[in-house]
Structure 1
């Protein structure tokens, strides 16, 4: 593998055992492969977490821009009235 940098990683005994077992079972050719896959998964989780935070921020901004808050019961009454009007029915409670 070209352009690699060797690093030292300290693992708990349990993690080291798991890594050795995965290599011995043939799931990976080496401990380095185990670590590379672990780092790829870590990077993917970090990317997904950032996307989720960005989406949460976008939704937050959308909510703030939508105007002042409305009480739950008032909002449900308004939504029900709007749906009833769209369906051509009279609002009932």
Structure 2
């Protein structure tokens, strides 16, 4: 385990109140435990954000590499309307 380092932080009165309440109501054993939990949550959030960004970049890269021909929005709308018409006809018969 890494050796601990002592840091001094400044928080708003509302944050200090929340931290004290968490310790006083027994959710955490000490102020340090509250801060540790908050930092672990922050680290998870950062990792999840990095994963989302990597996923988005991979999808953009795959999309740019896609060799299928692009169609115009008018063509896409026409295809959707035709499909809806076909489905409606099939449901009426």
TM-score (norm 1): 0.75
The runs of 5 or more residues in structure 2 that have no matched partner are: 87-93
Partner of 1:56: 56
Partner of 1:70: 71
TM-score (norm 2): 0.75
RMSD: 2.3
Deviations 1:2-54 (A, max 9, x none): 72111011100000000001000000000000000000000000000000000
Partner Cα distance (1:2, 1:22) in 2? 26
The runs of 5 or more residues in structure 1 that have no matched partner are: 85-93
Partner Cα distance (1:45, 1:32) in 2? 20
Instruction: Confirm or deny that 1:23 pairs with 2:23.
Output: yes
Partner Cα distance (1:8, 1:69) in 2? 57
User: How many aligned residue pairs are there?
Assistant: 81
Higher helix share: 2
